[in-house]
Amino acid sequence: MKRTVRMLITISVAVALISCGENGKQNKKPGNENTTSGDLTIFHAGSLAVPVKEIIKEFNKEYPNIKVLPEAAGSVECARKISELKKPCDVFASADVNVIAQYLFPDYADWSIKFASNEMVIAYNEKSRKSSEINKDNWYNILLNNKVAFGRADPDADPCGYRSVLVIKLAEKYYSKKGLAGRLLKKDVRHIRPKEVDLLALLESNSIDYIFIYKSVVEQHKLKYVMLPDEVNLKNPKMDSLYATVSLEVKGKKPGEIKIQKGEAMIYGITIPKNAPNMKAALAFVEFFLNKSKGMKIMGANGQPSVIPSYSSCYNKIPDKLKSFAKK
């Protein structure tokens, strides 16, 4: 009899434990970090390499089951991977928000969110020739010196490339030096590279002395740099009318197509392609990325201040859970 009672008690306890376990599973909210998993492919601008790496590390603390696969390249190249090469991509973060609209709208994406700003500077190191002389008033003379070599990114592959050209053209206006832009753009063309971070290796190996690059990148890599006036550096949105007085031709969306790239303040943008393989994880990452106390805190610490929330002409197309990061 006693044995039977003990068996009944044991069975009752086991049933209770199983029931609690099932209730615990039922109480888990769908969509949280425990149920979001799989690979997440991110195409991003080379200038975002450092902050994106840090953001992924923090993101994986909340979403350990998501394997993030970042690919850095020039923003235009990233867009072409999606539109021309049909490579799968879950999140695209561009150094120029306009690249998203120009290369992906309407077939591959239909919204974007502006998230950060930057500015152009001229970077160098302690071994750069004439580094003890260069400043914001004479930098163009230093770069034109035959004993000095400088590099810039490819305008057809990277926003930093066409922004470098725009800066040079604005400098001709600001310093009232007729013909300056043409002379600078014809010099050292052999040092043009697909994206701005490719230039860092040339600078670090002392193959060149100076590079046109983003302020955030030089701060992340602890390089010396010359700051440029707001009239030249593409930093200040209030000067867009001035920036727009210069332009250049770059490759367009389709092979053989040419488009005019006008000057404007630099604003980074992010989107999720329509055919993202892991939409659930993409939404979770972008929400984390744009959060001011999470991803954007890391962006700010890496020299790229937030512009969230900013006006979006495609606000109504933005996913509901991301709308708070933009304005209509």
pLDDT category at 6 given cuts 50, 70, 90 is low
- The pLDDT value recorded for residue 321 is 97
- State whether 174 and 234 are in the same domain: yes
Query: Residues of the chain with pLDDT > 70: what percent?
Result: 90
Q: In a 3-state reduction of DSSP, which class is residue 267?
A: strand
pLDDT category at 254 given cuts 50, 70, 90 is confident
- State whether 257 and 290 are in the same domain: no
- State whether 165 and 291 are in the same domain: no
Model's pTM, two decimal places? 0.86
Q: Residue 5 falls within a domain, yes or no?
A: no
Q: Please compute the mean of the pLDDT values over residues 249-257 and round it to a whole number.
A: 87
Rounded distance between C-alpha atoms, residue 11 and residue 239, angstroms:
77
Checking phi first, is residue 130 left (phi over 0); if not, alpha (psi -120 to 50) or beta? Answer: left
Strand runs labelled E in 78-156? 91-94, 113-117, 120-124, 150-153
Q: Which carries the bigger pLDDT value, residue 251 or residue 175?
A: 175
Q: Which carries the bigger pLDDT value, residue 14 or residue 269?
A: 269
How confident is the model over 179-193, as pLDDT tens digits? 999 999 999 999 999
- State whether 213 and 174 are in the same domain: yes
- The pLDDT value recorded for residue 28 is 41
- State whether 309 and 199 are in the same domain: no
Computed from CA positions of residues 33, 37, 43, 47, in that sequence, does the dihedral angle turn out positive or negative? positive
- State whether 155 and 219 are in the same domain: yes
Domain stops at, among 223, 239, 262: 262
pLDDT category at 253 given cuts 50, 70, 90 is confident
Q: Residue 25 falls within a domain, yes or no?
A: no
How confident is the model over 105-131, as pLDDT tens digits? 999 999 999 999 999 999 999 999 999
- The pLDDT value recorded for residue 20 is 44
Cβ 250 vs Cβ 156: under 8 Å: yes
Q: Please compute the mean of the pLDDT values over residues 31-60 and round it to a whole number.
A: 90
Query: Residues of the chain with pLDDT > 90: what percent?
Result: 86
- Residue 175's domain comprises 125-262
- State whether 169 and 283 are in the same domain: no
- State whether 155 and 272 are in the same domain: no
Q: Which carries the bigger pLDDT value, residue 253 or residue 28?
A: 253
Cα 10 to Cα 20, 21, 140: the distances in Å are 16, 17, 86
Q: Flag whether pLDDT at 241 surpasses 90.
A: yes
- Report strand pairing: 247-251 vs 258-262: antiparallel
Residues 6+ apart with CB under 8 A from 35: 28
Domain stops at, among 229, 245, 262: 262
pLDDT category at 152 given cuts 50, 70, 90 is very high
- State whether 111 and 168 are in the same domain: no
Q: Residue 133 falls within a domain, yes or no?
A: yes
- State whether 317 and 238 are in the same domain: no
Cα 31 to Cα 28, 37, 138, 172, 276: the distances in Å are 9, 10, 56, 54, 17
- State whether 141 and 256 are in the same domain: yes
Overall domain count for the chain: 2
> Average pLDDT, whole number, for the chain?
91
CA nearest neighbour of 101 among 112, 86, 115: 112
- The pLDDT value recorded for residue 34 is 54
How confident is the model over 74-110, as pLDDT tens digits? 999 999 999 999 999 999 999 999 999 999 999 999 9
Residues 6+ apart with CB under 8 A from 228: 119, 120, 121, 122, 136, 139, 167, 171
Give Rg (Cα) of the chain: 25
How remote is the C-alpha of 99 from its chain's centroid?
Answer: 11
Q: In a 3-state reduction of DSSP, which class is residue 87?
A: coil
Q: Which carries the bigger pLDDT value, residue 22 or residue 86?
A: 86
pLDDT category at 226 given cuts 50, 70, 90 is very high
Q: Residue 10 falls within a domain, yes or no?
A: no
Q: Please compute the mean of the pLDDT values over residues 307-315 and round it to a whole number.
A: 97
Domain stops at, among 262, 295, 313: 262
pLDDT category at 196 given cuts 50, 70, 90 is confident
- Residue 3 structure tokens: 């044995």
- The pLDDT value recorded for residue 1 is 47
Q: Residue 27 falls within a domain, yes or no?
A: no
CA nearest neighbour of 312 among 296, 323, 320, 297: 323
Query: What is the CATH classification number for the domain harbouring 177?
Result: 3.40.190.10
Q: Residue 9 falls within a domain, yes or no?
A: no
Q: Flag whether pLDDT at 302 surpasses 60.
A: yes
Rounded distance between C-alpha atoms, residue 266 and residue 4, angstroms:
79
- State whether 134 and 254 are in the same domain: yes
Q: Residue 139 falls within a domain, yes or no?
A: yes
Q: Residue 254 falls within a domain, yes or no?
A: yes
